[in-house]
Every structure is written in C-alpha cells, then in structure tokens.
Amino acid sequence: MPETHRPVNLGAEQWLEKPIECLDHGFVRLVDYMGDDSAIVQAARVSYGKGTKKANEDRGLIRYLLRHRHTTPFEMCELKFHCKMPIFVARQWIRHRTANVNEYSARYSVLDREFYLPEALALKKQSMENRQGRAEELTPEEQAKILTLMKSGNEAQYRDYEEFLRIGLARELARIGISVSAYTQWYWKIDLHNLLHFLSLRMDEHAQWEIRVFAEAMAKIVKDAFPLVWEAFEDYRLNSMSLSRVEVEILSEVGLVTSRFMDNDALRKYLNEKIGNKREVEEFLKKFKTLNIQLG
Amino acid sequence: MPETHRPVNLGAEQWLEKPIECLDHGFVRLVDYMGDDSAIVQAARVSYGKGTKKANEDRGLIRYLLRHRHTTPFEMCELKFHCKMPIFVARQWIRHRTANVNEYSARYSVLDREFYLPEALALKKQSMENRQGRAEELTPEEQAKILTLMKSGNEAQYRDYEEFLRIGLARELARIGISVSAYTQWYWKIDLHNLLHFLSLRMDEHAQWEIRVFAEAMAKIVKDAFPLVWEAFEDYRLNSMSLSRVEVEILSEVGLVTSRFMDNDALRKYLNEKIGNKREVEEFLKKFKTLNIQLG
Amino acid sequence: MPETHRPVNLGAEQWLEKPIECLDHGFVRLVDYMGDDSAIVQAARVSYGKGTKKANEDRGLIRYLLRHRHTTPFEMCELKFHCKMPIFVARQWIRHRTANVNEYSARYSVLDREFYLPEALALKKQSMENRQGRAEELTPEEQAKILTLMKSGNEAQYRDYEEFLRIGLARELARIGISVSAYTQWYWKIDLHNLLHFLSLRMDEHAQWEIRVFAEAMAKIVKDAFPLVWEAFEDYRLNSMSLSRVEVEILSEVGLVTSRFMDNDALRKYLNEKIGNKREVEEFLKKFKTLNIQLG
Amino acid sequence: MPETHRPVNLGAEQWLEKPIECLDHGFVRLVDYMGDDSAIVQAARVSYGKGTKKANEDRGLIRYLLRHRHTTPFEMCELKFHCKMPIFVARQWIRHRTANVNEYSARYSVLDREFYLPEALALKKQSMENRQGRAEELTPEEQAKILTLMKSGNEAQYRDYEEFLRIGLARELARIGISVSAYTQWYWKIDLHNLLHFLSLRMDEHAQWEIRVFAEAMAKIVKDAFPLVWEAFEDYRLNSMSLSRVEVEILSEVGLVTSRFMDNDALRKYLNEKIGNKREVEEFLKKFKTLNIQLG
C-alpha cells in the first residue's frame, strides 16, 4: 500500500473502493477524500488563533463552529464519489450547484439496458396533504399492474433505442426516447460543508424516497470519516428544532412550569450533566429565560 | 420618467439614488433592482404548479418557502448597491462569495484622504467572554488619547502617500502604507436569497459593529422593497430560536406544564389566532408534543 | 405603462413577454432584465477611475474589458428567462452552475402530453469523426421508420403515465417512465458574463443541435439588449482564433511573407483603418512580430 | 509514514510541508492535495466512455480537454495551501471566489509586527502607458527616501497598535490603523481548474508584481504535481495567442506566403513532427486555410 505525507483518515480509508448498493442497480462509492475532523480544527485555528490549541478541545470547537454556522472550516475537507442512479434522481441531485461533476454522456457512449424498477412495496399512493409525497400502499393487484406496465415500457424503450442505433441514427438522438428511470452515473466531488447541506435536504422526509437512499449511503461514509462533525451535525441540524418568532412568543405566554425540578441549582447540575459544555449551558439558560419557563 | 414593461417595485423605487449614510464617510446606495415579492411567487409557482394560484395566498407561499428553506425562488430577485466603507469592513464583506463586485482600484486611481475615525462612544474595551467582541466603554481620557493617536496616524500615512506619489512611485506601491481604516468603494450586486444570508450573519450581535451599520442600512431597503419576504425573514430567521437535540430532550424531560390553558380546544383557538396559517398550527402542535408539554 | 427610476434598456424592453419559439413545443421568453451596455461601463469605472469618463469611450472600454477578460463588470447585468425545453436539453443546460433556476416539478404537478419529435431532416447519422455529433442525413425510409417508432413510443409512455395516475400512484413515481424527450420548463436567471460563457459553449458546433436552437434564441435577445457587448463578443470570442504555443512556433518558422504590402507605413495605415483603436493596433503589431511576418 | 488506499501523487508529496518563501515574510506551503494527472483522465472517461481507455492516450486526452475548454475533469483535483502575504495581496487574491478560505482574524488574535517592505529595486515609477503598472526604477536617493518613510510608518503604526491594546481597546478596533502592507495568512483550498484560471490571471504581466511572486510559487508546485496538465496549460493558455475576428481578417487579406515550404506533403510532414497529434494537425490546417496562407 502506498505511503503518503498527507493526513490519513482511517474512517474514510475503509470505504475507499467499497461501493454501497442503492436501489436495484445503483451505488455510491467513495473514490478519494481530503481531510478529517482535525483538518477542520486546523483551519479554524488559523482564524481563531492561539488560545484554543489544547487537543481535548477539538470536539468542543467543532461543535461550536457547527452550532454557530461558522461554515468555512468545513469546506476544507473534500469527498469524491462515483455514483450510479436513475436519471430522475440525478436531476434532483444536480440542483446542488457547489459540487464538481463528470457525468456519463449518452452522446459519446451507448446506454446500458438498466432501468430503475421500484419494489412493489415502494409503490405508494399520492399523498393528499403533501403535494410532493407518497402515502399508503396500493393493493397487490394495483402494484402488479403498475410493475408489469413499467417493465414492458422499459423493454419497449430499449428495443426502439437499439433499433435506432442499428439504423445508424446519431446516439444523441437515439436516446431521447429513454425514460428518466434509466440509470446514469457520475463522478461527484463536494466539500464537507456543502455535503452536509445536501444531506440535510436530501435525508429529509420531504425528499423523494429514491434520493434519500443515496443520501443515507453517503451519510454512512461521512459518519465514519468525520465522527465529531457527524455528531454535531445530528445534534444541531438533523435533530434540532427551530421555533419561529411567534412560536417563541406563544411558549412564553402559556406560562410554562417545570414539574420536575425544585430549584436553580438542581437545574444547573442537570444541565451540566446533559450538555457538558459551559458556554452551551449559558446559551440554553438564555433560551430558558426567553421561553419564560418557571421552575416548579 | 422612463417607462418600462418590467415589474416595478415601488418600495425599491423610492430608495434608488438615495444614499443612506453609514459611519463618518460611508454610504449604501441602491443603484438598480430586479423583482419584488410577487416575482418570488411567480418563480415558485413554476415548480409548485397550478394548485396555488390564488392571489391572497402570496403571503402564505412566501412564508412557507422561507420556513422550509426553499431558497431558489428568492434568488430570482437582485439588488445592486453602490457602497463606500472602510477597508476592514470591505474585507469582512467580500467573504460572501455569491455576489458580483467591482471595487475602486488604488492601482488605477489615487486614494482620497478619507479614513474611518470612530466616535468616542464606539471605542470600547476588549470583551473577555467574546474573543471577537467589545465590552464596556473606555474612560473619556482613554478615548481622547486613542482618537488623537488615530487622527495623527491617518495624517502621517496620507502625508507619506502624497510624498510617494510626488516622487513618482507607482500607485500600486505608494498605497501600501495606507491603513485598513481608509475608505474604499464598490458596486455590489447580489440576489435576495444571498443578501438575506448576508444580513442574518452581519446584523448579528457577533458581527463587528461597523459592518452591522451597513447591513442595517441594506435591511431598511429590503424591508421596503420586499415587505412580505422581510416579515417572514424576521419571523423565521432573525427572531427564531433553534433548540439542539439535547435541548429538546431536556425540555421534554423537565415535565413542562402550561399554567394558563385548560384544554385542547382553548389551545387550538389560541394558536389559530396567533399563527393563523393552518399548516403552521399543525407544525407547532407536533413540536408541542415533541417537547412533551402538558396542558395545565 | 409603469414608470421607473431605473435605467431602461430599450433593446431588451422589446423582447419582454415576446416568446421566441424553439423546436416543436419549446420557447425562450425574456421575463425581466437589469442593466444595459452603460451599466457595464459604470461598474468598470468604479475600478478604473476618473481618467476614462468620456462618453464616446464606452465602446472602446467594453471592447477592452472583453478582450482582456476583465469579466466582473459584465456580471453587473442580469437576464431572467422563462424557457420550455425537452428534458435532455435541460440536462445539458443545468450544468451551467452560476445561474438561478426554478423548474417545473413533476412531483407537484401533472406533466403535459408534450414530447419533442424531431423534424425528419434533423434525423442524422452518427458522425464517425466526432463521437458526440451527427453527420449526413438518413434515407427517407429510415427517417419515417424512426419517427413512427418515436411517436408510438411517446404515446405508449403517456398512456401508461395516465394509467398510473388513474390507479392513484404518487406523481413522483408515475412519471419515471416518461422519456427525456418530454418537455419541462423553468425560470432561469443569469448574469451577462455567465450568459456569454453559456452562449460560447452552446452556440458552438460541438453542442447538440437542439440546445443550440435555444442558445441562438437567447443570443438574439442579447444582441438587441447589449449591442456593444455583442459586437465585442463576436469579435473577441465567437470569431476569434486561438493559436497554441506550437502553432505560433510553426507559423513563425515557415517564414511568412505578405504578398500585398510594401512597407511599414502602408501596413500601419491599413491597420488603423481596419482596427481603429490605437492600443489594439499596437497589440496586433506585437503578434505580427511574434509570428515573424515579413513585409513583401 | 502512514499508508493510504488513495492515489498518491509523488510530485505533490515532495512539496507537502515544504514552504516556498515569498517576499520578505510570506510563504506558500502545500498542506494537502487530492488527485493527479490520471484522476482527470479517470473523470473524463466517465463522460467520454470506453473508446478512450489506452494508457498511452492520457497525455492526448488531457491536452484535448484543456484545448477545448472541457474544464470539469480538472475540477476533480484539489490543492490546499497555507499562505502568508501582505493584506493588499490578499485583497486581490480573495477576488477569486471559487476557493475555500480561512483567514487569520485580527478580531480574535493579536497581529504580529510584520510588514512588507519592498526591496529597493522593486520600487519603480508609475507607468504612463499602463495605468495599473510600474515602469523604470527610481534613483537610489528616491528609493532610500521611500524606504525610510515606509519603515518609520510601519513602526509608528505598530507602536500605536500596541498602545491601543495596552489601554484595553478591543482588538477589532485597535487594528484599524494597521496598513495593507501588514502580513495576514490563510488556508486556501481550490480545485485545479480554478487554480489554473487564477494562475493565468495572476502570473500575467498585468498583475501586480507582489502577487505574481505567490502565483509563481504555486505554479512550481502544480508543475511537479500535474506535469501533463502543466504542459498543456503552457501550450494552450500561457503561451497561446488569440487573434480577434478582425486580426484573422487582416492576416487573411495581406496574402501570406510561406518562404520555406514547397508543397503540401512537406508541410504535413513538418506538422506531424511538430504537433504529433493527428486531430491537432487537422485543426491547424483549418486555421492555415482560414488565414489564407499560400505555400511558397
């Protein structure tokens, strides 16, 4: 195995060239990476200077950066993936503009006979509340009918495609009858800050299920490669709650009282245990006060 | 006054060519704009289709978009400013990369004798808690001493600069002894989404006071030009509260009870009054449940 | 017609809301704009200072900026289009990342029954030299066969789509069998510098013919809206020639002699007539010398 | 030395942590990298498919990509630098927006007493033709006078700065009298395509000499790390010549005749020797014809 003077990220190394299967023919494969948790700390310390240099403060600094949206140090890491996905997934994915992409071109090369065919259980009804979502399952008969039509549709499309190529039609025209369920592939490179943004949008329940599968595959890799960042990302993004101005106002007006704690000291002790970080305890107490919560 | 087939934004029109003074020699001046609240709605409706077309739903749609971080429709509006600010402010400002900039060049042109000299009351002590901030005021004697030194420093710098030019030294070298308190100016164009992001960072209490002055001047213009967007921005960004995973957990564990309401119906009635929008009431009730709040 | 204090671009005004048809169901329509030729000059003069203020120098300045790739002043203008195009065209178009986009979503709304069906003459053979291009025409029989298959393919796809919707399948799944020849639409906003870059790539003979149709429609509008920029763009980009290091070397080695001119004075006179601009004449004479051309 | 599964770039490895000194106190230091020449080829082949897979075609493919401005494969490589430079250099540098930056903050940390003091020979007169440039040298007396003033100016600035800090003034205000010749530093990460663009602008003779020093230091590293890319970059960018539409017209009108070659066969033979690549020979012959050059 070749040697390098670069920082080596063992969590990332184990994923190199180990594709994660996604849907029926797709995958996500880590091809290369730059950086690790400490690369973020290193970059941040150029800005924030010498007072923060103790090694045991890395976790605290990363959490501080992510909590306060100091995003530039996270841009100091890069991940490069090779991915294969249906065209309709690629069309949602490509909307994230701060990434580098090289996609398979059906003008240059012949498309493979690979179409995404959902599993029966994935075939769900149109949601009524959520205009962009799915709801409950269809009946087995409905599922069967749909899958049969989809399969024969794909076959017909590819048969025509082959016929067009046989006749000699230019590839760039022969492919226009191929549907958005056909697979494409690309190299996709992105910095960690923008990848986290991508994940927060594409792991969300409002994202189409098929792209969430790919987002979750990448999340797995990020979690191993940047454990401190991932922990902070879960705490301050994925599992955080945002209250609007009026929601804060409502909560402060309904007269919230705790039924569990007796006094300030007990509260502080509890907070120190739960939160740990001093500054964050202070930040929380400010919110507690804003929400006008009384100790019961 | 010339006529146009473009949408005209009356809130923006009144600011055109009307500079807002900032600090001692600076300003922010709206030079041109594209779009208004309804341009955002128009763009969103291309995506979200025909079911949302009633005119009285514009406010609701804008609030929905901003709340759920559907940011692309806000990119459909542009604002172009002419600004003049001290170099140290410009250096913080330029870090926002998604903007278009043409700055005055001291290689091409001679710098004016204009330096930022803070008002005495702006001269504050280094904050101890906040490593990047200021705290309480200095004594009048300290203020006076500092201002005297600053003034004579600026004069000395400009005297040397003039001497360098007199000798014939290239402008690009003559200017290197000029301090970051000297004023520069630029044309700065940005889309509304990125401007809001800029404002949320630069109106923040952690931003240096001098750049906040400029951010607030632009906020004034945005407020008049995009009233619905501004209202949503205040409700869901500026005055929102974010609770981390552990903070949500703590609040759900301390056994919160309302001391004001009796039953679910009264709560719902109150929420409908305060929030108005149905979907948002449902979103709030979910948070209420997550926070494990009991009705008292 | 409403009035505005903004600069009004008469060349652009005439295109507002006047769609240009592209292919069989598509269009390009200018929705809004910011700026004109003189907005570029205005921004450039912030950088380049007071020595360049004569009005008759606008053309020269724009040409200088474009020739020397001083691109930022061109970013001070924006164009917003409403466009409708086949999905395969949209997929090439979206690769230009420095634009703002809101696309029709087939998750929210039902797709129209609109597919791109090429004209018979557009159906050409795969080029052998150019792996991404087309060559000569097919026979009328081949054309007819292809068009018949394409038409029935589209019909079958849309019939299945309607059947899926009738069964109640979620729209986001029902549409996955629809091909990339189906039409989509979007609002697309871009600054002038990046639009010129887009045009230089997408008007090129290597671009797929179908996207060139859209690029040429936009070029028409740019030409009317920014006549001085367009002239410079044609002279220094579209119709320029780039010689590599070795090509320069070859030309300088083959001993080029002019067969037309007698002396330096005649050459200079000719250059002044053809080029006009002094600085550009000097730039040309330098190239003339590098190419080692002798006067015959 | 740690091992890695990633591709290792030996040309880059040798520069890791080996700073290149720039000006009197500055440097450029490669901190990390991703990719090598073959990473570009690998990404391009996803797009251009299987017909291009022979290893000896790597050089040809890279040259083709760069010549035809297929820029995305070059974005697949990243370089991360630690740099230290005067503020006025940093202000020009930061204008390149497609990079990631973490800069030393004088709000958080105290500035070092380090100012750029030009060498006597670098002190030149204002150029008269080039409004942003320098021309001939000043006299030794003028040089000495300027350097004396610069040195004492820097000392006075730093003395005031220390006095402000001693009084207790917030760091963010204490530093505003420090000039743009003071050194700052940052981590700067950029992909190879955008770095080449940076280099083509900042190695140019129109760039200020002080930033060219930094560009040339990075060029040295790029040359070793991406030898095939660098060769192509020199041939098709740095040492290429662009002819405008009217320049092409002029050359085609002056009746160029070669004085060296006899016939087409000799020309072709010569071109094959000089250029090698078949496709490029054809491209050249087209230009030859456009320029209307006759064989003598």
User: Mind listing the pLDDT tens digit for each residue in C146-182?
Assistant: 999 999 999 999 999 999 999 999 999 999 999 999 9
* Surface-to-core class of residue D99, CB atoms within 10 Å of its CB (0-12 exposed, 13-18 middle, 19+ buried): buried
User: CB-based contacts of C27: which residues, under 8 Å, 6+ apart?
Assistant: C19, C20, C21, C82, C83, C84, C217
User: Which one of D180, D202, D220 terminates a domain?
Assistant: D180
Residue C75: the pLDDT is 98
Residue A193: the pLDDT is 98
Q: Are residues A263 and A185 in the same domain?
A: no
* Chain A residues 5-24 with a CB less than 8 Å from chain C: none
Interface contact B25, partner C, CB < 8 A: no
User: For residue C51, what is the domain's CATH number?
Assistant: 3.30.1360.170
CA A77 and chain centroid, separation: 16
Interface contact A159, partner C, CB < 8 A: no
Is residue A63 within 8 Å of residue A277, measured between CB atoms?
yes
Residues of A with a known catalytic role: 202
Residue D168 phi, psi (nearest 5):
110, 5
Is residue A58 within 8 Å of residue A38, measured between CB atoms?
yes
pLDDT in tens, A74-121: 999 999 999 999 999 999 999 999 999 999 999 999 999 999 999 999
Whose CA is closest to C9, among C76, C92, C72? Answer: C76
Which chain D residues are within 8 Å of C290, Cβ to Cβ? 241
Q: How far is C278 from chain D (nearest CA, A)?
A: 12
Tell me how many residue pairs between chain A and chain B have CB atoms under 8 A apart: 126
CB contact under 8 A, C250 and D284: yes
Q: Which of A179, A185, A202, A205 to probe the C interface (max C CBs under 10 A)?
A: A179
Q: Are residues B90 and B142 in the same domain?
A: no
User: Is D152 within the bounds of a domain?
Assistant: yes
CA atoms within 13 A on the CB side of B25: 16
Residues of C with a known catalytic role: 202
Which chain B residues are within 8 Å of A255, Cβ to Cβ? 258-260, 296
- Domain total in chain B: 3
Mean pLDDT of B48-58: 63
B72 closest CB neighbour out of C17, C44, C100: C100
CA dist D36 and D22 (Å) reads: 25
If one counts every other C-beta atom within 10 angstroms of the C-beta of residue B198, the result is 22
CA dist B222 and A215 (Å) reads: 36
Partnered with residue A188 across adjacent β-strands are: A81, A101
B46 closest CB neighbour out of C3, C78, C104: C104
Residue D53: the pLDDT is 55
Q: Are residues D195 and D163 in the same domain?
A: no
Tokens read off for B231: 């209202």
The mean of the pLDDT values for chain C is 94
Element of type H or E holding C48: helix C37-48
CB contact under 8 A, C126 and A171: yes
Catalytically annotated residue among B29, B63, B175, B202: B202
C187 closest CB neighbour out of B16, B32, B43: B43
Residue A17: the pLDDT is 84
User: Is C296 within the bounds of a domain?
Assistant: no
If one counts every other C-beta atom within 10 angstroms of the C-beta of residue D51, the result is 11
Is residue D190 within 8 Å of residue D98, measured between CB atoms?
yes
Q: Check pLDDT > 80 for residue C53.
A: no
CB contact under 8 A, D255 and C68: no
Residue C56: the pLDDT is 64
CA dist A21 and A16 (Å) reads: 14
| Distance set, CA B290 to CA A72, B237, C56 (Å) | 32, 21, 68
DSSP H stretches of helix in B203-263: 209-225, 227-233, 245-253
Q: Check pLDDT > 80 for residue B264.
A: yes
CB contact under 8 A, A246 and B275: yes
Mean pLDDT by 10 residues, chain D (296 residues): 92 96 98 97 82 69 94 97 98 96 95 97 90 89 97 98 97 98 98 98 96 98 98 96 96 91 86 90 94 91
CA dist C233 and C239 (Å) reads: 8
Q: Are residues A250 and A213 in the same domain?
A: no
CA dist A86 and D23 (Å) reads: 53
CA dist C111 and A21 (Å) reads: 31
CA dist D229 and D63 (Å) reads: 7
* Chain D residues 135-154 with a CB less than 8 Å from chain B: 135, 138, 142, 145-146, 149-150, 153-154
Mean pLDDT of A262-281: 90
Element of type H or E holding C293: none
CB contact under 8 A, B108 and C17: no
Tokens read off for D126: 């204002």
Is residue A106 within 8 Å of residue C89, measured between CB atoms?
no
User: Is D78 within the bounds of a domain?
Assistant: yes
First CA to last CA across chain C, in angstroms?
63
Interface contact A258, partner D, CB < 8 A: no
CA dist A217 and A202 (Å) reads: 11
Q: Are residues A254 and A213 in the same domain?
A: no
Element of type H or E holding C150: helix C140-167
CB contact under 8 A, A34 and D109: no
Residue B53: the pLDDT is 55
pTM: 0.96
CA dist C49 and C46 (Å) reads: 6
If one counts every other C-beta atom within 10 angstroms of the C-beta of residue D129, the result is 8
User: Is D296 within the bounds of a domain?
Assistant: no
Share of chain B above pLDDT 90, in %: 86
Residue A57: the pLDDT is 84
ipTM over 0.90: yes
Helices D58-67 & D278-290, crossing angle to 10 degrees? Answer: 30
Length of chain B: 296
Provide the pLDDT confidence category of residue B55 given band limits of 50, 70 and 90: low
Q: Are residues C92 and C199 in the same domain?
A: yes
If one counts every other C-beta atom within 10 angstroms of the C-beta of residue B255, the result is 15
Q: Are residues C15 and C135 in the same domain?
A: no
CB contact under 8 A, B47 and C103: yes
Is residue C117 within 8 Å of residue C151, measured between CB atoms?
yes
CA dist C4 and B33 (Å) reads: 11
First CA to last CA across chain B, in angstroms?
63
Residue A83 phi, psi (nearest 5):
-130, 150
pLDDT in tens, B145-158: 999 999 999 999 99
If one counts every other C-beta atom within 10 angstroms of the C-beta of residue C269, the result is 12
CA dist A226 and A35 (Å) reads: 9
User: Is C5 within the bounds of a domain?
Assistant: no
Q: Are residues C102 and C29 in the same domain?
A: yes
Place of tokens 């022979």: D54
Structural domain containing residue C143: 125-179
CB contact under 8 A, A153 and C160: yes
What is the number of H-type helices and E-type strands within chain D? 12, 9
Residue D54: the pLDDT is 60
Q: Check pLDDT > 80 for residue A138.
A: yes
Q: Are residues C71 and C29 in the same domain?
A: yes
Residue A132: the pLDDT is 83
pLDDT in tens, B107-140: 999 999 999 999 999 999 999 888 888 989 899 9
CA dist B172 and B178 (Å) reads: 11
Q: Are residues C25 and C40 in the same domain?
A: yes
Q: Are residues A278 and A200 in the same domain?
A: no
Interface contact D241, partner C, CB < 8 A: yes
Interface contact A112, partner D, CB < 8 A: no
Is residue A181 within 8 Å of residue A154, measured between CB atoms?
yes
Interface contact A51, partner B, CB < 8 A: yes
Sign of the torsion angle spanned by Cα atoms B141, B142, B143, B149: positive
CA dist D128 and C51 (Å) reads: 12
Residue B2: the pLDDT is 86
User: Is B296 within the bounds of a domain?
Assistant: no
Interface contact A205, partner B, CB < 8 A: no
Length of chain C: 296
| Distance set, CA D96 to CA B83, B197, C194 (Å) | 20, 20, 15
CA dist D74 and A241 (Å) reads: 40
Interface contact A110, partner C, CB < 8 A: no
Element of type H or E holding D66: helix D58-67
Partnered with residue C170 across adjacent β-strands are: none
Is residue A177 within 8 Å of residue C151, measured between CB atoms?
no
CA dist A76 and D81 (Å) reads: 10
User: Is C203 within the bounds of a domain?
Assistant: yes
If one counts every other C-beta atom within 10 angstroms of the C-beta of residue A110, the result is 14
CA dist C109 and A280 (Å) reads: 45
User: Which one of D180, D210, D228 terminates a domain?
Assistant: D180
Mean pLDDT of B211-218: 98
Residue C235 has what DSSP assignment? I
Provide the pLDDT confidence category of residue C133 given band limits of 50, 70 and 90: confident
User: Is C213 within the bounds of a domain?
Assistant: yes
Interface contact C48, partner B, CB < 8 A: yes
pLDDT in tens, A22-57: 999 999 999 999 999 999 999 999 877 654 456 568
Q: Are residues C154 and C257 in the same domain?
A: no
Which chain B residues are within 8 Å of A271, Cβ to Cβ? 250
Tokens read off for B216: 């607030």
